[in-house]
Chain A
Amino acid sequence: MSKARQLADLGNAYSDGGISGSNLIINGSMQCFQRATAATTMTNTYGAVDRFRGFSNGGGAFTGEKYDMTTSEIAATGQYQALKMLVSTADTSIAASEYYSLNYRFEGDDLQQLKYGSSSAQSFTVSFWVKSDTTGTYFLTVDKLANGQTAYRIPIEYTISSADTWEQKIITVSPTAGSTSLITSSAGAIGGGTGHGLSLYWGFAWGTDYHGTNNTWSTSYGTNATANNWMGTVGNDFYLTGVQLEIGDTSTPFEHRSYADQLQACQRYYSQIAQGAGVCTTTGTNLYLSVKLPVRVRAVPSVSQTGAMTVNDGSANLTQSSASINSYNEGGTLDSLFVSLNNFSGLTANRPVVVRQNTGKSITADAEL
Chain B
Amino acid sequence: MDKMNITSAQYVNYLGDTACINATIDGITMSVPFDPANRHYSEIMRQVEAGDLVIQEAE
Contacts and interface: CB of A to CB of B under 8 A. Distances in A.
B30 A304 contact: yes
B29 A299 contact: no
A195 B37 contact: yes
B39 A328 contact: no
Interface residues of B, number: 22
Nearest to B30: A304
Nearest to A323: B29
A367 interface: yes
A328 B33 CA distance: 8
B37 A327 contact: no
A45 B28 CA distance: 11
Interface residues of A, number: 29
Contacts of A196: 39
Interface string B23-50: 0001011111111011111000000000
Given A57-B1, A326-B12, A329-B20, A300 B33 contact: yes
A366 interface: yes
A326 B19 CA distance: 9
A368 interface: yes
Closest 3 CB pairs of A and B: A299-B37, A300-B35, A327-B31
Interface of B: 1-3, 12, 14, 19-20, 22, 26, 28-35, 37-41
Interface of A: 44-45, 55, 57, 99, 194-196, 298-304, 323-330, 332, 339, 366-369
